[in-house]
Amino acid sequence: MIKEKPELLSPAGDWERLVAAVDYGADAVYLAGKSFGMRAAPQNFSEEEIKKAVEFCHGRGVRVYVTCNTLPRNDELEQIVPFLRHCQEAGVDAFIISDLGVLALAREHAPHVQRHVSTQTGIVNYAAAKACYDLGAKRVVLAREVPLDEIKGIRENVPPELELEAFAHGSMCVSFSGRCLLSNYMTGRDANRGACAQPCRWEYTLIEKERPNEAFTLVQEEKGAYVFNSNDMCMIEHIPAMLDAGVHSLKLEGRAKSAYYVACVTAAYRRAIDFFWEHPHDPLPPEILEETEKISHRAYSPGFYFGGEPGQTTDRSQYTRKYEVAAVCQGREGGYLRLSQRNRFFKGDVADILQPGKPSQTAPLDEIFNQDWEPIEAAPHAEMTVYWKTDLDVAPGAYLRIKKQK
């Protein structure tokens, strides 16, 4: 059992998502430079931006981990050394590393930065975890396939100084620890170098050799054609079980997700961790659990943590979207909140407000005006300025969400 409150580790794919993670309660963030990270789709951070990010986060008591978890080729090893040195000079707290060669280079060229072994390494037993510790790792990010009872066995058989990190929420990969060649084979985009095209989410048909022009559906009875489509992980109700197994850091997946996604999931898990720390034997309050339903997601499951399989949704790959972000609060002008529209909303819609450090609250958008202070019935235009007459105390950066009609 962990004797101190666990770390909440949130994703930061760019500056907006970084600020969202920090504002909504992350203890640490993980981000990537322009190279060597396993997510090429997000904007990521230049070397100067990494320095700025460290200054911003450290000023708010938040740690910064930089992902160096691709598998570099020979000609890239010389390029990675100055990057490691720059990160050390910038004050980065840890590297997240998959490759043993990069682990050795980081130990040699950036010895003051902690080294965390990435989930891509596939750590599933205490011998592998201990070997990483002997090579200089401060932490191992366990493979997502490891059940909680196995994690407890790892914790009991490794030095207490070695920290265990595990994913608590987000997308699941159909391949073991994310090591997949499907994207590279089908599109030329290498998943092991951060450019996965996610062909596991596509719909497939069957073609028989002698009839190449005729495609057959894979649907039969309750089965579907999305044969690789894994469910999303959600462990928010099971945080005490993760702590009992010895997990030090709860990681949220999502560097390619929106800033709103980062804010909402971070806020939910911040509240859940704080609640369970004080009430480890009580059920999670429904209003905290409900926050995980206010983001786009696939069907939820607890992953592999309780044995068995995490489940798949084979009849579709679409996300569940129960809420939409209607607007972001830009500040107050007298008795009005200035909003920036994100999706169309109407006068009278009930806004569900998410802001840092507070439970969500709802209020009707009963008096709204355009930028010329003219009353309006709807806000249909992207990023249009809307003034909302209200006395509610709403912070700049807060998200106003509208529940979608069925």
Those residues whose C-beta lies under 8 Å from the C-beta of residue 278, and which sit 6 or more positions away, are none
**In angstroms, rounded to a whole number, what is the distance separating the alpha carbons of residues 40 and 184?**
14
Return the bridge partners of 353, or none: 361, 400
**In angstroms, rounded to a whole number, what is the distance separating the alpha carbons of residues 85 and 370?**
50
Q: Which whole number is the average pLDDT over 46-53?
A: 96
**In angstroms, rounded to a whole number, what is the distance separating the alpha carbons of residues 52 and 62?**
13
- DSSP 3-state assignment of 185? helix
**In angstroms, rounded to a whole number, what is the distance separating the alpha carbons of residues 64 and 116?**
12
Residue 189 — very low, low, confident or very high, per pLDDT cuts 50/70/90? confident
Q: According to the model, what pLDDT value does residue 320 have?
A: 81
Domains in the chain (CATH in brackets) are: 7-175+230-301 (3.20.20.70), 323-403 (2.40.30.10)
Q: Which whole number is the average pLDDT over 264-280?
A: 97
Highest mean pLDDT among 28-42, 232-246, 289-303: 232-246
Q: According to the model, what pLDDT value does residue 199 have?
A: 72
**What share of the chain in percent tops pLDDT 90?**
71
Query: DSSP of 118-180, one letter per residue?
Result: -GGG---SHHHHHHHHHTT-SEEE--TT--HHHHHHHHHTS-TTSEEEEEEEE---SSGGG--
Tens-digit pLDDT profile for residues 220-260: 555 556 667 778 899 999 999 999 999 999 999 999 899 99
DSSP category for residue 358: S
Tens-digit pLDDT profile for residues 104-125: 999 999 999 999 999 989 999 9
Residue 143 — very low, low, confident or very high, per pLDDT cuts 50/70/90? very high
**In angstroms, rounded to a whole number, what is the distance separating the alpha carbons of residues 159 and 134?**
10
